[in-house]
């Protein structure tokens, strides 16, 4: 009997991708209501939502943080962005927000997942001030010295480097803190690091269950404490309000924060290189 997942391979899904193993980019796409996901991603996400029903709203709150952070960066004078772990395009992508505010903004999207890259390429057809690269966050040289980075980014000028909801997929054994330090050292003064990272109290039984679930996916998650997350900002100046739950980061309306900001599951912060 043919495998369910491989029978649904649409023409935008490269042959190289494994449809039978749930994948972070496609699970997140499903949580956000997108269509670039497959049966195994949906089974995984439905199970995740059973254990952790706030995962759906948390994905949307994370995305809303990203949009506010990009607007903040443009208002602060940034005109170039590197979005690493950019995901499958969804409403309010970085170039859409930034180029609406100033059409001269340039954006490089980077992701390690082929479906995310293929969709980004389709979205960016005809936009010569944005580009896409398939690469791994923990190989900064492959990103910073890529042809697309050299075409789009002037490293003598301030840049915003975004790592939104991606570092919690990278274990300490792959040295994500060292990779972030390398990006920061390349950034000109006046640049920004925009970051969000999942947080779950280490003692909760539920955290164990979610961790076990993710072990079966292509991107097992990593639990980090707020202090571990704060270390990603070493040497940078965190802008107000600091490292907080996503809805607490410069909400548009006070009511947007809600009574339980911790239900957003994700910490977020933006820091400036002096």
Ligand X SMILES: C[S@@+](CC[C@H](N)C(=O)[O-])C[C@H]1O[C@@H](n2cnc3c(N)ncnc32)[C@H](O)[C@@H]1O
- d(CA 60, CA 66) in angstroms, rounded, equals 10
Q: Should residue 63 be labelled a site residue for ligand X when binding is judged by CB under 6 A?
A: yes
Question: Hey, which residues between 19 and 48 contact ligand X (CB under 6 A)?
Answer: 24-25, 28
Q: Should residue 187 be labelled a site residue for ligand X when binding is judged by CB under 6 A?
A: no
Q: Identify the DSSP state of 113.
A: -
Closer to ligand X by Cβ: residue 1 or 146:
146
Stretch that binds ligand X, among 43-51, 107-115, 153-161, 253-261 (CB under 6 A): 107-115
Shortest-Cβ-distance residue relative to ligand X: 87
Q: Of 54, 96, 121, 136, which lies in the binding site for ligand X, with binding defined by CB under 6 A?
A: 136
Q: Identify the DSSP state of 264.
A: G
Question: Hey, which residues between 233 and 252 contact ligand X (CB under 6 A)?
Answer: none
Closer to ligand X by Cβ: residue 58 or 205:
58
Size of the site for ligand X (CB under 6 A): 23
Instruction: Give the CA-trace dihedral at 131, 133, 139, 143, to 10 degrees.
Output: -30
Q: Of 87, 131, 140, 269, which lies in the binding site for ligand X, with binding defined by CB under 6 A?
A: 87
Q: Should residue 99 be labelled a site residue for ligand X when binding is judged by CB under 6 A?
A: no
Copy the structure tokens of residue 266: 């994700």
Rounded to a whole number of angstroms, the minimum distance from the CB of residue 178 to ligand X is 13
Rounded to a whole number of angstroms, the minimum distance from the CB of residue 52 to ligand X is 14
- d(CA 239, CA 167) in angstroms, rounded, equals 20
* Of residues 174, 163, 182, 190, the one with CA closest to residue 267: 163
Q: Should residue 85 be labelled a site residue for ligand X when binding is judged by CB under 6 A?
A: yes
- d(CA 262, CA 199) in angstroms, rounded, equals 9
Question: Are the C-beta atoms of 269 and 245 separated by less than 8 Å?
Answer: no
Q: Should residue 137 be labelled a site residue for ligand X when binding is judged by CB under 6 A?
A: yes
Rounded to a whole number of angstroms, the minimum distance from the CB of residue 252 to ligand X is 18
Question: Hey, which residues between 145 and 184 contact ligand X (CB under 6 A)?
Answer: 164-166, 169-170
Rounded to a whole number of angstroms, the minimum distance from the CB of residue 31 to ligand X is 8
Cis peptide before 267 (omega within 30 of 0): no
- The SS3 of residue 164 is strand
CA 65 from chain centre, in angstroms, equals 11
Q: Considering all CA atoms of the chain, what is the largest pairwise distance in Å, rounded to the nearest integer?
A: 60
- d(CA 71, CA 78) in angstroms, rounded, equals 9
Closer to ligand X by Cβ: residue 74 or 161:
161
Q: Are strands 266-272 and 244-245 parallel, antiparallel or unpaired?
A: antiparallel
Closer to ligand X by Cβ: residue 52 or 137:
137
Which residues here bind ligand X, judged by CB under 6 A? 24-25, 28, 62-63, 66, 84-87, 111-113, 116, 136-138, 164-166, 169-170, 219
């Amino acid at each position: 009997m043919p495998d369910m997942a491989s029978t649904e391979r649409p023409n935008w899904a490269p042959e190289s991708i494994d449809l039978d193993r749930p994948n972070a980019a496609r699970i997140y796409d499903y949580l956000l209501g997108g269509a670039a996901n497959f049966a195994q991603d949906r089974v995984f996400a439905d199970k995740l939502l059973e254990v952790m029903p706030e995962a759906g709203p948390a994905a949307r709150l994370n995305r809303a943080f990203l949009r506010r952070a990009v607007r903040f960066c443009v208002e602060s004078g940034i005109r170039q962005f590197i979005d690493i772990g950019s995901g499958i395009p969804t409403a309010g992508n970085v170039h859409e927000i930034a180029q609406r505010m100033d059409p001269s903004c340039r954006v490089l999207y980077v992701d390690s997942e082929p479906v995310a890259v293929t969709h980004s390429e389709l979205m960016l057809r005809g936009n010569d001030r944005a580009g896409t690269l398939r690469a791994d966050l923990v190989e900064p040289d492959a990103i910073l010295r890529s042809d697309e980075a050299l075409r789009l980014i002037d490293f003598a000028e301030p840049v915003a480097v975004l790592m939104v909801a991606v570092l919690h997929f990278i274990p300490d054994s792959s040295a994500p803190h060292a990779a972030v330090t390398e990006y920061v050292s390349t950034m000109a003064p006046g640049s920004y690091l925009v970051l969000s990272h999942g947080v779950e109290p280490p003692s909760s039984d539920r955290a164990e269950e979610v961790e076990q679930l993710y072990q079966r996916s292509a991107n097992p998650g990593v639990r980090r404490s707020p202090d571990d997350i704060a270390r990603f900002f070493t040497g940078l100046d965190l802008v107000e309000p600091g490292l907080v739950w996503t809805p607490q980061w410069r909400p548009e309306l006070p009511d947007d924060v809600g009574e339980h900001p911790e239900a957003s599951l994700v910490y977020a912060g933006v820091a400036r290189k002096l």
